[in-house]
Structure 1
Amino acid sequence: MAGQGNFDFFARGAKADESEVRAKFWHTAKKATRSIPFMEDVVAAYYCALDRNTPLRAKAILLAALGYFVLPADAVPDILLGIGFTDDIAVLSAAVAAVRAHITPAHRLAAKEALAERG
């Protein structure tokens, strides 16, 4: 089937991104909690990205945005007080808006509970 190789490459890339996001998400989220006003949406997006029932396209969008979020080096270094997470906010808000229909009430509940536990 034409294009199957591209799909396989895309799926392998999403799997690699997922491993990195899983490894670094909570550490970065803890640092960003005060800087990102919609952290509950970000955490819900994290749970959506890890959900095996989330369509691959939505998962890839979220993993790309979350991967950017957890990267140690990005366009605006996260250590800059006040503006460090502004680029992350833009990327995350665009990703969440693009896949909002796939973020379920279960993802939102898991996010709320996780933030309460880590709060």
Structure 2
Amino acid sequence: MPTPTPEPYSEASFWDKLREQALSAGREVVERALCLYFAAQQPQTPLWARTVIYGALAYFIAPIDAVPDMAPVLGYSDDLGVLVSALVTVSLYINDEVRQRARETMGRWFGPREDGGERPGR
């Protein structure tokens, strides 16, 4: 029996896009998307912040972009811009727990960071 296709703007489609596009999107895009996702899961994140987060994540998983994701070099630049804007807007809700969950997920997917740099939302 075939696997059901997730709804275009669902949690399943978010995880599917991350899994399928993680390497081509790169660490910067994926890590920021994870920080936003985990911040939205926090009970103390207010509705207005969740709305900003879900709007940015919906743009990230949208099948149609301002700059197509398959375009060499620039493909994820619009996604990164939207994710960074959302991170700045909701930065009060990107706490240590959110950063740690994103770091752990990134470590499982990509291995440790080579540059030892700070994480998004710091």
TM-score, reference length from structure 1? 0.74
Q: Is residue 2:95 matched to residue 1:70?
A: no
1:39, 1:71 → 2: CA distance? 15
Q: Which runs of 4+ in 1 moved over 6 A?
A: none
Q: Supply the AA of the counterpart residue of 1:42.
A: A
User: Which amino acid in structure 2 is aligned with residue 41 of structure 1?
Assistant: R
CA distance in 1, matches of 2:88, 2:108: 26
CA positional deviation for 1:100: 0.5
Structure with the largest fraction of helix: 1
Partner of 1:24: 13
1:100: which partner in 2?
91
Which residue pairs with 2:43 in the alignment? 52
CA–CA distance in structure 2, aligned partners of residues 109 and 53 of structure 1 = 17
Instruction: Check conservation: 1:24, 1:70, Cα contact below 8 A.
Output: yes
Aligned partner of residue 20 in structure 1, secondary structure: coil
The 3 A distance-change label for structure 1 pair 84 and 32 is farther
Distance 2:23 2:10 in 1: 16
Unaligned runs of 5+ in 1: 1-18
Q: CA deviation at 1:116?
A: 1.4
Instruction: Write the letter of the residue equivalent to 2:79.
Output: D
- In the alignment of these two chains, the number of paired residues is 101
Matched-pair identity in % = 32
Query: For residues 76 and 42 of structure 1, what CA distance do their matches in structure 2 show?
Result: 17
Aligned to 1:80: 71
| Matched residue, 1:13 | none
2:29, 2:83 within 8 Å by CA — same for their partners in 1?
no
RMSD: 2.0
2:32 counterpart (41, 45, 60): 41
Find the counterpart in structure 2 of residue 8 from structure 1: none
Q: Alpha-carbon deviations, 1:7-43, whole Å to 9, x = none?
A: xxxxxxxxxxxx9341122332241455453532321
For 1:12, the equivalent position in structure 2 comes to none
CA distance in 2, matches of 1:61, 1:29: 19
